[in-house]
Structure 1
Amino acid sequence: MIPYILVLLGAILWGTTGTAQTFLPESAHPFVISASRSTVGGFSLLIFMVLLNKIKFKTWPWKETIYAAICISLFQLLFFSSVRLTGVAIASVVAIGSAPVFSGIIEWVFLKLQPTKVWGISTSFAITGCLFLFMNKGEITINPVGVLYSLIAGLGFAIYTIASKSLLKKEETIPVIAMTFSTSAVMLMPFFFLYDVSWLQETSNVGVVLYLGLATTSVAYVLYGRGLIKIPASSALTLSLAEPTTAALLGVFIVGEALSVTSWIGILFLLGGIVVLTLGARSKSL
């Protein structure tokens, strides 16, 4: 039960990302925000882990780490590209909604792990919820390329989760997150030189970036990683659907966005999927 709650808390923190970004200026390019998040989140943890002598660089499983870092980097780049093409709502729903489906298929086909009935039911609830959220505003123009980017981003996040699960069998959670995001930060650093970063000179903007890096990256992924040790990757990804739910609720109560009836129905279905998965896990542990 506790691992599921940890994953859920991590997803809720991810869901605050969009609201936090609304406090940044329009000149803040999504790629620079992504690079900043990885840099703050990864290196802040890495420094502590090195000081505590928790990381052995010579014997570190670099292969899995590089796979995970590439996947999480591509996820961010594709996701933010999708946001620009087809909007935050569609991009979030397609990317996060498709990830547990991709993970379940990968585990089934390549890892020979039979999907559970609980996963099937909860994922069905989640997909239904995503479809309702997808129908939020009739005036939204769906960009096929943007949707494709989101689908590939969802696949990338699914592979990241599976690679991380493999890493967590060899190393502790915090060192794994530190190494993965530090490696990702190095991969994304060129964007600091390709786009305007003058907005980072403002104290308020730095505060938002620190929140995005520490809370929505370091803390969120550590929680996600600790829970991932004990539960299937597909189940963890289904629970991660709490992210678009949180984002939608914060959009209403903090940003002042209006949600249609179909959106509220979608949120209820997403929450239903999370409840089914969590209660199903609890019944197994009793």
Structure 2
Amino acid sequence: MKRKLPPVFVLLAAILWGTTGTTQALAPEAAHPIAIGATRLAVGGLFLLLVLLVIGKFNFRGWPIKTTLLASFCMALYQPLFFSAVSVTGVAIGTVVAIGSAPIFSGLIEWVYVKNRPSKIWWNSTFLSIIGCLFIFVNKESLLVNPIGIIMALGAGLSFASYTFISRTLVENHSPLSVVAVVFTLSAIYLSPFLFIYNMSWIMSFRGMGVSLQLGIMATGIAYLLFSKGLVHVSSSTAVTLSLAEPLTAALLGVFLLNETLTITSWFGILLLILGIGILLWFPKKLKSNEPVKNGARIS
């Protein structure tokens, strides 16, 4: 039972991430996507830091400063790269390339740095999930393949995969709450200039506050805390593939809350995504990379 809980934590985190699109659609018109991303990290980081201070479990002793700075930089970099890619090359291509490339980058990073070759179960699950993602978004809009947008989307995918890999080494020696609190507070500091570049008057409205709190507390603070707890016993490559439940959740929320319609192709993509994610949840023992790591190497 304990072995099955960590993947479920990651899946729940991805479901919470999937609410961001619907929440942003309900945001005031004056809210710029990048400003929303910066606000999301600021509220999330502050929330996690307050929780950590209340609990009083934070300990600076032996804290890896360079690793923490790198993890926070990767998370901060992901936000503007993803939003910029979507604005340049469209939601369909930007989302598919960014989210679809992240599991591949994650598998390659594990292969190169910890010599942990992904299992056949992981490859099959990742392939089904990425194809499912493609089918969900392919009919959303006219496709615009912009080279700069593609590069940005790939950068976003690499940033998220790198953040996941680095964070997994942090949660081996520190509590998940401490890790996400410190990392997201630093990430918010990195992106704080955006709060002065864009119009932030929308955040003072009732709807703006609601959107900021939902994105910061639920879709960032609690979501990444669950994600980090899952990373303690789930490999980074498996976690990133499970995170593909994010577009699945976003698509279903669009149908039930925003009155969007999905084509038969999109529904087929949803089925493939569910199948791909289900494989990882039902066959955790066949994933060789599920063992915890210590100091960058897998414990056998």
TM-score for the superposition, normalised by structure 2: 0.90
Helix, strand or coil: the match of 2:70? helix
2:106 aligned with 1:103, yes or no? yes
> CA contact under 8 A between 2:27 and 2:208: conserved in structure 1?
yes
2-structure distance, mates of 1:139, 1:33: 25
Check conservation: 1:239, 1:277, Cα contact below 8 A: yes
Residue of structure 1 equivalent to 2:60: 57
Q: Secondary structure at the match of 1:25?
A: coil
Note the C-alpha offset of 1:55.
1.9
Give the deviation of 1:130 after TM superposition: 2.5
Could you tell me which residue of structure 1 aligns to residue 279 of structure 2? 276
Per the alignment, residue 182 of structure 2 pairs with 179
2:221 counterpart of 1:210: no
1:230 to 233, 237, 249: 233
Asked whether 1:126 is paired with 2:129, we answer: yes
User: Does the 8 A contact of 1:38 with 1:184 survive in 2?
Assistant: yes
Shift of 1:93: 2.1
1:38 aligns with 2:41: yes
SS in structure 2 at match of 1:251: helix
Deviates further, 61-70 or 130-139: 130-139
List per-residue Cα deviations over 1:178-197 (Å, max 9, x = no partner). Answer: 00000001101111111111
Q: State whether residues 136 and 251 of structure 2, in contact with CA within 8 Å, keep that contact through their aligned partners in structure 1.
A: no
How far has the Cα of 1:219 moved from its partner?
0.6
Structure 2, unaligned stretches of length 5 or more? 291-300
TM-score (structure 1 length as normaliser): 0.95
User: In structure 2, what is the equivalent of residue 245 of structure 1?
Assistant: 248
Deviant stretches of 4+, over 6 Å: none
> What displacement does 1:42 show?
0.8
Report % sequence identity.
49
Q: Could you tell me which residue of structure 2 aligns to residue 197 of structure 1?
A: 200
Q: What is the match of residue 10 of structure 1?
A: 13
Instruction: Confirm whether residue 143 of structure 1 aligns to residue 158 of structure 2.
Output: no
* Letter of the structure 2 residue corresponding to residue 215 of structure 1: M
Structure 1 residues 131 and 48, CA gap change in structure 2 (3 angstroms): closer
How far residue 138 of structure 1 moved from its aligned partner, in angstroms, is: 6.2
Q: Map of 1:16-95 to 2, 5 A cutoff?
A: 16-57=19-60, 59-95=62-98
Q: Which moved more, 1:26-35 or 1:169-178?
A: 26-35
Contact 1:82 1:91 in 2 (8 A): yes
Question: In structure 2, which of residues 132, 157, 162 is the aligned counterpart of residue 159 of structure 1?
Answer: 162
Q: CA RMSD in A?
A: 1.6
In the TM superposition, what whole-angstrom CA distance separates every residue of 1:201-230 from its partner, at most 9, and x where no partner exists? 112211110000000001100111111110
- SS of the aligned residue for 1:136 comes to coil
